[in-house]
Structure 1
Amino acid sequence: MNKTIEVIKDIRTLCTHIFEGGHRSIPNAKRTGEDERM
């Protein structure tokens, strides 16, 4: 269950990056800790 939620979060984060223009949403990702994976 936890893994599924994590995957969904990752996908949503990626979608946000694309929608926001990629680099502009990086600071947002850093707040959630997703930036370290990329």
Structure 2
Amino acid sequence: MKNFTISIDLHSTTTGISAFDRADTILAVVKEDSKP
């Protein structure tokens, strides 16, 4: 199996580096109504 990553940009975050931004992004991705 090859390792890979997927980049995710969430418009409501700033740099995406802070723990808050990362947590906010994770919560947005796992929402049932999230779309690509």
TM-score (norm 1): 0.38
Task: Give the TM-score of the pair, scaled to structure 2.
Answer: 0.39
Greater gyration radius? 2
